[in-house]
Homo-oligomer: A and B are copies of this chain.
């Protein structure tokens, strides 16, 4: 039975995984990132993509993603003002992680959910 011998390395791993999870955790962050992976979008477009998200939650989650530098927010002073959200390079770098999440989700569904 192998133990977590190098405790510093182990703690470092736990820290890194917690960091990553904090960024993508919650009901709506991954759907928003997936929506933006199909191209830059405006507030209303994301809202239309994700059917049952409320404006309050969408606004809140977009702010959180922006603070973590996953997305950018650009204001155009057209009339009426439009706002464009886009994935940053850091946001795009989530691609492989999200692919794995998706892949494993399908595997899980095949094995356990079974419908």
Contact = CB atoms under 8 A, between A and B. Distances in A.
A105 B15 CA distance: 8
Interface stretch (A55-63, A71-79, A106-114): A106-114
A83 interface: no
Interface in A62-113: 68-69, 90, 93-94, 96-98, 100-109, 111-113
Closest 8 CB pairs of A and B: A16-B105, A20-B105, A1-B39, A19-B105, A97-B100, A100-B100, A2-B39, A20-B101
Interface of A: 1-4, 10, 13-21, 23-25, 27, 30-31, 34-35, 38-41, 49, 68-69, 90, 93-94, 96-98, 100-109, 111-113
